[in-house]
């Protein structure tokens, strides 16, 4: 059962295409890292770790690409996956931002650090707000009504 085209919001369509393009780009970069890691594995032992991490990233991004295509097709399981992922991203961004602020404030060289660095430390909180908003939008009643 598919959702009629008239009931489809542009928010989901734009978000889905953004996620599809982003996941595809990440697959390309992870694929390049896997190839480079496998070629240099014998020369540099650390490249084994790069190879493994890039391979895991490649697998995760392939799954996210599949889920983004399902989100575009208005599958409810994909909406739930991205609502959870955006919520998790909000929480981890806040934790990372607090850790960065703590590091900057309690650093032995805190007085010598430029003020712009403290302003840049606000970026994780802006990202957390964006992720929380996206998660909330995906869980809203109007958006839920579009999914099967």
55 phi and psi angles, rounded to 5 deg? -65, -40
Does residue 109 surpass a pLDDT of 80?
Answer: no
> Which residues, at least 6 apart from 142, have a Cβ–Cβ distance to it below 8 Å?
9
Give the least confident one: 26-30, 87-91, 94-98, 107-111.
107-111
> Which residues, at least 6 apart from 121, have a Cβ–Cβ distance to it below 8 Å?
97, 100, 101, 104
3-state secondary structure of 93: helix
What is the C-alpha separation between 69 and 16, in angstroms, rounded?
A: 7
Give the least confident one: 46-55, 59-68, 133-142.
46-55
What is the C-alpha separation between 140 and 67, in angstroms, rounded?
A: 19
Does residue 113 surpass a pLDDT of 90?
Answer: no
Give the least confident one: 34-38, 97-101, 109-113, 129-133.
109-113
pLDDT of residue 41: 77
């Amino acid at each position: 059962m598919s959702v009629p085209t008239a009931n489809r919001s542009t928010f989901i369509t734009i978000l889905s295409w953004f996620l599809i393009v982003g996941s595809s780009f990440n697959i390309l970069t992870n694929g390049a890292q896997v190839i480079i890691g496998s070629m240099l594995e014998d020369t540099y032992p650390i490249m084994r770790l790069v190879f493994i991490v890039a391979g895991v990233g490649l697998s995760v991004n392939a799954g996210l690409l599949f889920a983004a295509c399902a989100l575009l097709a208005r599958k409810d399981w994909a909406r739930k996956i991205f609502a959870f992922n955006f919520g998790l991203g909000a929480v981890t961004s806040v934790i990372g931002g607090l850790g960065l602020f703590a590091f900057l404030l309690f650093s032995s060289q805190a007085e010598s650090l430029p003020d712009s660095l403290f302003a840049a430390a606000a970026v994780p909180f802006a990202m957390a707000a964006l992720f929380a908003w996206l998660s909330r939008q995906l869980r809203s009643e109007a958006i839920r009504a579009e999914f099967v």
